[in-house]
Structure formats: C-alpha cells, structure tokens
Amino acid sequence: MSVELFQAEPEGEGLRIGIVQSRFNEPVCKALRESCLAELARLGVSDEDIVMCSVPGALEIPFVLHRMASTGSFDALIALGAVIRGETYHFELVANESGSGIQAVATQFGVPVANAVLTTENDEQAVVRAPVKGAEAARVAVEMARLSDWLDEMESTDDMAWAFEDGARD
C-alpha cells in the first residue's frame, strides 16, 4: 500500500497575505510584526502582496480578519497580538474569544489563518516568544496557502473521488 503525502513547499512568491495586528502590548506586537514581515520576505512574498491592518486589541482582530476574508482577495491571513495575564478574569475572556473568533474565520471562509496572538503569563514570556512566533506565523500562512491551493486543484479533478466513494468521509 502506498500513501500519498503532500507537504507544501514554503514558497511565498505570488501569494497575497493579509495581516491584522493588535496595538495593545505594543512592544511585543512590534516584535511579532517585524519577525513576521522578515520571514514573509525571506519566503518570497512581495511587499506589494501584503496588506496590513492595525486594531486596538486582540478582541478586534477577528472582525477585521472576517472582513478581509470576505473579500476573497487573500491566500492566507495572519493574526498578530499579545494577551498577557493580569490580575483579573479579563485575560481568559480576551484569550478565549480572540482565539475562537480567529478560528471561526478560517473555517467559515476556507482561508488559512495563522494565529500568532500570544497568550502568556507575563511580559518576559511574551518578549521571548514574539520573534519566534511572528516568523512561525509567516511560515504557517505560506505553507497552508500552498496546501489550500493543492486541495483546490484536487477538488477540480477526480483524483480524490476514491476517498469519498467508500464512505471515507464519514
């Protein structure tokens, strides 16, 4: 038996990427943005193919992602932000609702969304994670956009018909 495995190449040339970045916890978000943009450039995504929107906080990210996704103009979207635990329950509310809203955009519109909204216990954790997660979000967005393209191509052929004939989709 031979199993076909597709793993997308991290090649960003020609991809249109939308980024929504929170301004709350600005130094951390700036580090996320800088590492994300540097990695997108390294992967071959042109500056002209990147659209970036700034929002006040993590709770506003899903709204703008939703609007961007609804245009059908983007191959992938990226969410950048930082939610750092404070002394109240507000941390859980913002972290959970932001994450849920971001995921809902991906599933509703069928567009890949890389979630790099950090949820950390303190500022120090956020500062350490920001450069890594910003670059990681860029790689995830590019890879998932390429995988999505491949799946679109598969849908337009009969190559995947076998997977659904025997109830494999159930």
CA 62 to chain centre: 11
Separation CA 62–CA 9 (nearest Å): 27
Q: How far apart are the first and last CA of the chain?
A: 22
CB 48 within 8 A of CB 23: no
Catalytic residue among 23, 42, 67, 90: 90
Separation CA 143–CA 111 (nearest Å): 12
Helix axes 123-155, 26-42, angle to 10 degrees: 40
The question of whether 90 is a catalytic residue gets the answer yes
Question: Which helix (H) or strand (E) is 83 found in, with range?
Answer: strand 76-84
- Give the full edge-to-edge strand order of the sheet including 76-84: 50-55, 17-22, 76-84, 113-120
The residues that are catalytic are 90
